[in-house]
Amino acid sequence: MSPTRITKVVITPVAFADPPLLNAVGVHEPFALRSIIEMETSDGVTGLGESYGDASHLERLHRVAQALIGVDVFATSRMLEVTADTLGGAVGADRHGLTGQISASGTALRTFAAFEVAALDVQGKLLGRPVSDLLGGAVRELVPFSAYLFYKWASHPGDAADRFGEVLDAAAIVAQARWMLKDYGFGAIKLKGGVVSPELEIEAVFALRDAFPEVPLRLDPNTAWSVATSIDVARQLEGVLEYLEDPTPGLAGMAEVARETPTPLATNMCVVGFEDIPPALALGSVRVILSDHHYWGGLRKVSGLAEICDTFDLGLSMHSNSHLGISLAAMTHLAAAVPNLTYALDTHWPWKDDDVIEGGVLTFRDGALRVPTSPGLGVELDRDALARLHERYLTCGISDRSDTRYMQSIDPTYDGTLPRW
Ligand code: GKR
Ligand code: MG
């Protein structure tokens, strides 16, 4: 059989409206950026991928896309080699700073991941099988997601209040959870912390526990707390949280906290690549890893991560950043095929109004998505929407995500240094 070769890769940067969601390093800018990848092949089949939209990442995607022309779309290991060779040790920056340190190999994996998803979409279409089948087959038909709550302002400065309203205290957090659980049916709740004082965030968690006693809760301050503060918060929330996510920076700090609390610690910040796993295990830093195919190197790398988690009795969950439907489809296929991805996944989905995919395929019912069964990822581009969101990218004036820079443009005294409490 002759190989199906990559003949062309089109990368379209897009921007979509994002509310002023607060986190430990600032506030979301009015638009979130993504890149949409269309991989064309010699068999006339096109695959889709989605990745970050920062300017330097786009530049790397373009460089690698050129180098991938002619590669067999089934040869994903070769694609990773080509990616690493093309980038030649370049180290990318994560300007928003909430997904850990980035190494040269991590930069290659982040870049490759976008193309791997598109290649798997092509493979699935050629074989007439959903992407979950290429990852070992779906072990579940429904993939559960969690409600992702944020403190937020009523609007971006100068705008009218958005439809989500101001959320700056425990009562408003509970109201936000009520809305999300009612509209999406989520069966788990994550609160993005590191925004107000630990005391107020503890109060919000207790308010959530009282309002939704049956719903598992998580709190993620993105390393905003010292070791001492983390231990104190963990003790106060003992028995209340399903897991506590990234309370403090670094593997050693997390290990100190872990020794003092029975609550499992989870991370998407101190274990962000395979090389972090041995020291994390040696120190006992975390009990749950939040995977993310966008920076772990694609869907198959996360399947490999799952095996390691299983071997070492670590829990596995999934991290999210502001994203669109191609990423959501990829996350869903992956979670469907990984037996031990049993925690409800994070998603920013409820916070946006727009997308680049045709509607209808990814609809939340009872907090879960039904795994698409059509060939590939099972989602199609809406070309008008893609053009509209690309136009927005060109006019929005943002080319790199920086929550801190945006916050400082509003409050010049803001200091994004962590830990803060
Ligand atoms: O969207 O503000 C946000 C989140 O804080 C995101 O940037 C984090 O990477 O969701 C992420 C997390 O779990 O740390
Ligand atoms: Mg996190």
Q: Which domains, from first to last, does the chain contain?
A: 6-132+383-395 (3.30.390.10), 137-370 (3.20.20.120)
pLDDT at 400: 94
Q: Which ligand is nearest to the CA of 266?
A: 2
Q: Which ligand is nearest to the CA of 194?
A: 1
- Residue whose entry in the numeric block shows the structure tokens 């003092």: 260
pLDDT at 89: 77
In angstroms, how far is CA 153 from the centroid of its own chain? 22
Count of residues in the chain = 421
For residues 355 and 324, the answer to whether their CB atoms sit within 8 Å is yes
SS3 call for 270: coil
Is 319 touching ligand 1 by the criterion CB < 6 Å?
Answer: yes
Testing ligand 1's pocket by substitution, the residue of 28, 29, 52, 98 carrying the most ligand atoms inside 8 A of its CB is 98
Q: How many CA atoms lie within 13 A of 60 on its CB side?
A: 29
For strands 26-27 and 22-23, give the pairing: antiparallel
Q: Active-site residues: which are they?
A: 192, 319
pLDDT at 10: 98
Closest by Cα among 257, 246, 201, 245 to 343:
245
Ligand 1 atom closest to Cα of residue 222: 14
Q: Which positions ≥6 away from 44 have C-beta within 8 Å?
A: none
Testing ligand 1's pocket by substitution, the residue of 23, 268, 290 carrying the most ligand atoms inside 8 A of its CB is 23
Is 96 touching ligand 1 by the criterion CB < 6 Å?
Answer: yes
Distance, CA of 102 to CA of 90 (rounded, Å): 10
Residue 404 has which token pair?
């801190």
- Taking CA atoms only, the protein residue closest to ligand 1 atom 4 is 321
pLDDT at 102: 74
Q: How many CA atoms lie within 13 A of 348 on its CB side?
A: 23
For residues 349 and 367, the answer to whether their CB atoms sit within 8 Å is no
Question: Which DSSP letter does residue 152 get?
Answer: B
- Taking CA atoms only, the protein residue closest to ligand 1 atom 2 is 23
Q: Which positions ≥6 away from 298 have C-beta within 8 Å?
A: 76, 109, 112, 113, 116, 117, 120
Query: Measured in angstroms, how far is the CA atom of residue 114 from the centroid of ligand 2?
Result: 21
Is 21 touching ligand 1 by the criterion CB < 6 Å?
Answer: yes
Distance, CA of 131 to CA of 133 (rounded, Å): 5
For strands 142-144 and 147-150, give the pairing: unpaired
Distance, CA of 20 to CA of 31 (rounded, Å): 9
Distance, CA of 58 to CA of 310 (rounded, Å): 35
Ligand 1 atom closest to Cα of residue 148: 10
Give me the DSSP letters along 40-92: EETTS-EEEEEEE--HHHHHHHHHHHHHTTTSBTT-HHHHHHHHHHHHTT---
Tens digit of pLDDT at every position of the chain (421 positions): 899 999 999 999 999 999 999 999 999 999 999 999 999 999 999 999 999 999 999 999 999 999 999 999 999 999 999 999 999 977 776 555 566 667 888 899 999 999 999 999 999 999 999 999 999 999 999 999 999 999 999 999 999 999 999 999 999 999 999 999 999 999 999 999 999 999 999 999 999 999 999 999 999 999 999 999 999 999 999 999 999 999 999 999 999 999 999 999 999 999 999 999 999 999 999 999 999 999 999 999 999 999 999 999 999 999 999 999 999 999 999 999 999 998 999 999 999 999 999 998 899 999 999 999 999 999 999 999 999 999 999 999 999 999 999 999 999 999 999 999 9
Q: Which ligand is nearest to the CA of 20?
A: 1
Testing ligand 1's pocket by substitution, the residue of 96, 110, 191 carrying the most ligand atoms inside 8 A of its CB is 96
